[in-house]
Amino acid sequence: MTVDLVVVGLGYVGLPLAKEAVASGLNVLGFDAYGSVVDGLNNGRSHVDDLSDSDIATMQSKGFRATSNVEDIRGADAAVICVPTPLSAEGGPDLAAVIAATETIAEALAPGMLVVLESTTYPGTTEDIVKPILERGGLRAGTDFHLAFSPERIDPGNAQFGMRNTPKVVGGIDPASTDRAADLYARFVDTVVRASGTREAETSKLLENTYRHVNIALMNEMSKFCHDLGIDLWDVIKLAKTKPFGFQAFYPGPGVGGHCIPIDPNYLSHRVKSELGYSFRFVELAQEINMAMPAYIVQRSQDLLNDEGKALKGSKVLLLGVTYKPDIADQRESPARPLGVALLAKGADLSFHDPYVESWAIDGGSMTRVADLDQAIAQADLVIFVQNHDAYDAEAYANAAALFFDTRGVTNPDGASHRL
């Protein structure tokens, strides 16, 4: 049977994409360089939050399988690259996984094939990096095969918007490539939006997350001076968002996490600086503000303990929630990590609880996960509410704790908690 689509990279982006493509009747092959991922999926085990083992079983019943053998890719109609792009030491994207995935596809590239890059990166990657690798064998993009970029927009844990009902942006190196990519995604995505080209599609993803990064930084900066002025910022935001136009609510917090917001804007900033020689000042300032929030939380924690006649050093501090967003197990770039490191550096007796995390290692050591949450809250000198999981009853915890610091603004402002 002809393979309609090969998904290269079976993580939080690639696996949901494969699921929707399979559900729409495409014959889908998953490719991953990690044998443990391939073996797990072929044995019916999911390793991402948004797919269950039963989802994998359903996919398998419709022909899906995973492989690490490049020979299995040969003859496929299309290949989509969904591999991670972490920050490099220089501050731009580390394209090692993209290059490796492209080289894998290049080995199996055939006339008429469509190749789409979904990995978030700087503008120009598709044409400057991916295209030359694919053309090494003599085939020419736009003539012998099609090439496009389509930014991933997966939001792990989002129950309202998933792969199918989130509009898909596609931009090819030429109109024919755009059309071919649009036709592919239209088979399993409700709305496809055509971009002018690959660079516009690449930049659109960076704009989306830079917009969020900058606005979160604005709220984080406001949280500091509103606290000093005795103003309840959470109430301010509630009031402002009653305006039906001209305002979108963003919220302060202990920092930003996940693969997108703390990472993606730096790709654009790095590209502007390296290519044009000047700074993208909004991004650099937003990064400075957001990265400083864990230290600010520690400062506020010290102040709260001082008011009770206690030092942070030696105090029992309990962190509630260490993932980067609610109701998932994903810890990538979670602000809980630099917060924990800073608390340890100040001598805190640190422990944690998270319903999705059994073990948590920071600063070279494993943190204690409390077994009895109620008892741990009662015994702690300070409880810091870091992530608002649905399983948590923040108001009850605030009433039970000696000191409760709510960094998510979910508790009653007139209650027992102290809010960011």
Tens of pLDDT along 334-378?
Answer: 999 999 999 999 999 999 999 999 999 987 788 889 999 999 999
- β partners of residue 30: 7, 66
- β partners of residue 362: 365
* Cα–Cα distance measured from residue 415 to residue 412, given in angstroms and rounded to the nearest whole number: 5
**Within a domain: 118:** yes
User: What values do phi and psi take at 413, rounded to 5?
Assistant: -65, -20
* Cα–Cα distance measured from residue 258 to residue 253, given in angstroms and rounded to the nearest whole number: 14
Residues 314 and 172 in one domain: no
Instruction: Provide the pLDDT for residue 86.
Output: 87
Contact between 112 and 78 (Cβ < 8 Å) = no
Instruction: Provide the pLDDT for residue 272.
Output: 81
For the entire predicted model, the pTM comes to 0.91
Helices 198-229, 293-307: crossing angle, 10 deg rounding = 20
Catalytic site includes residue 82: no
Residues 182 and 297 in one domain: no
* Residue 296: Cβ within 10 Å count: 21
Instruction: Provide the pLDDT for residue 92.
Output: 74
Instruction: Provide the pLDDT for residue 320.
Output: 98
Contact between 15 and 48 (Cβ < 8 Å) = yes
Residues 55 and 174 in one domain: yes
**Which structure tokens are listed for 164?**
């199918």
Q: What is the 3-state secondary structure (H, E, C) of the chain?
A: CCCCEEEECCCCCHHHHHHHHHHCCCCEEEECCCHHHHHHHHCCCCCCCCCCHHHHHHHHHCCCEEECCHHHHCCCCEEEECCCCCECCCCCECCHHHHHHHHHHHHHCCCCCEEEECCCCCCCHHHHHHHHHHHHHCCCECCCEEEEECCCCCCCCCCCCCCCCCCEEEEECCHHHHHHHHHHHCCCCCCEEECCCHHHHHHHHHHHHHHHHHHHHHHHHHHHHHHHHCCCHHHHHHHHCCCCCCCCCCCCCCCCCCCCCCCHHHHHHHHHHHHHCCCCHHHHHHHHHHHCHHHHHHHHHHHHHHHCCCCCCCCEEEEECCCCCCCCCCCCCCCHHHHHHHHHHCCCEEEEECCCCCCCEECCEECEECCCHHHHHHHCCEEEECCCCCCCCHHHHHHHCCCEEECCCCCCCCCCCEEC
Instruction: Provide the pLDDT for residue 40.
Output: 96
Give the residues of the chain that fall short of pLDDT 50.
none
**Which structure tokens are listed for 55?**
């989802």
* Catalytically annotated residue among 195, 260, 319, 339: 260
Give the total number of structural domains in the chain: 2
Of 141, 163, 195, the position where a domain reaches its end is: 195
Contact between 69 and 23 (Cβ < 8 Å) = no
**Which structure tokens are listed for 15?**
């696996």
Of 139, 172, 195, the position where a domain reaches its end is: 195
**Within a domain: 245:** no
**Within a domain: 316:** yes
Residues 191 and 321 in one domain: no
Instruction: Provide the pLDDT for residue 266.
Output: 78
Domain with 407, as residue range(s), is: 292-420
Contact between 259 and 332 (Cβ < 8 Å) = yes
Instruction: Provide the pLDDT for residue 261.
Output: 74
**Within a domain: 406:** yes
Instruction: Specify the CATH number for the domain of residue 388.
Output: 3.40.50.720
**Within a domain: 246:** no
**Within a domain: 238:** no
Instruction: Provide the pLDDT for residue 1.
Output: 66
Of 132, 160, 195, the position where a domain reaches its end is: 195
**Which structure tokens are listed for 260?**
């997108």
**Which structure tokens are listed for 352?**
């944690």
Residues 29 and 161 in one domain: yes
Residues 42 and 171 in one domain: yes
**Within a domain: 241:** no
Residues 177 and 324 in one domain: no
**Within a domain: 158:** yes
- β partners of residue 368: 351
Pairing of strands 192-194, 168-172: parallel
